[in-house]
Chains A and B, each alone.
Chain A
Amino acid sequence: DGGITQSPKYLFRKEGQNVTLSCEQNLNHDAMYWYRQDPGQGLRLIYYSQIVNDFQKGDIAEGYSVSREKKESFPLTVTSAQKNPTAFYLCASSSQGQGTIPMTFGSGTRLTVV
């Protein structure tokens, strides 16, 4: 079955530590996205990539980094510079720009700072 796989489902980070969230898709989609969701709020875009080896900052990129070395993979690193990383992180993909065609979402990673 085609879809998006995010791992791990739960992640705990200590203060000052970098952590990497995995996102893999087998839908052959060109575009991939990372969103952050806080309780009771909508989604905020962190980074997006329209094509391999290219990515752009979204609304809240500070403290995060990404890479897009393969079409299937779009990992997100939450760095120590992100002061409030506790949130639910969602990865998504689409075959074209997300405004023109529906996105497929992964099941999310819940990150908690301990």
Chain B
Amino acid sequence: SQQGEEDPQALSIQEGENATMNCSYKTSINNLQWYRQNSGRGLVHLILIRSNEREKHSGRLRVTLDTSKKSSSLLITASRAADTASYFCATDANSNYQLIWGAGTKLIIKP
């Protein structure tokens, strides 16, 4: 089952611009995570945000969580060509051992 729904499915922006991706989910969660996947590679963890947190930062990344709207957003500031990848959100609604994944947002940074 796909609880997380990323929006948009694809995003193309100029280098240096900010990129915002959204994730919506259906049931209550304890944690939400964001991962990045370069084409044909494994996933790399970016940020984990807990249900009692509203915002979290890591370098050029900012994640917000609105549990009342059951949504999260990932903001990448001052984008670079190396940020070109697919970005996935995952929630722990089922259990600690079974995350539920969205279909991802494909981000393309144009030089």
Contacts and interface: CB of A to CB of B under 8 A. Distances in A.
Nearest to B30: A99
A59 B1 contact: yes
Contact of A42 (B42, B48, B88): B88
B68 interface: no
Interface in A78-106: 88, 90, 92, 96-106
A105 B44 contact: yes
A interface, how many residues as a size bin?
A: 20 to 34
Interface residues of B, number: 26
A98 B101 contact: no
B49 to A, nearest CB: 12
Given A59-B1, A108-B40, A102 B33 contact: yes
Given A41-B103, A42-B102, A99 B45 contact: no
B52 interface: no
Interface of B: 1-2, 4, 30-31, 33, 40-45, 48, 88, 90-92, 95-99, 101-104
Enumerate the 8 nearest inter-chain pairs by beta-carbon distance, A residue then B residue, closest first.
A99-B92, A97-B96, A42-B101, A105-B42, A102-B45, A99-B96, A43-B101, A105-B43
Given A41-B103, A99-B98, 19 more contacts: A40-B104, A42-B102, A88-B40, A90-B42, A92-B42, A96-B96, A97-B96, A98-B98, A99-B91, A99-B96, A99-B97, A100-B92, A101-B48, A105-B42, A105-B44, A106-B42, A107-B41, A108-B40, A108-B41
Interface of A: 4, 6, 31, 40-45, 48, 50, 56, 58-59, 88, 90, 92, 96-108, 110
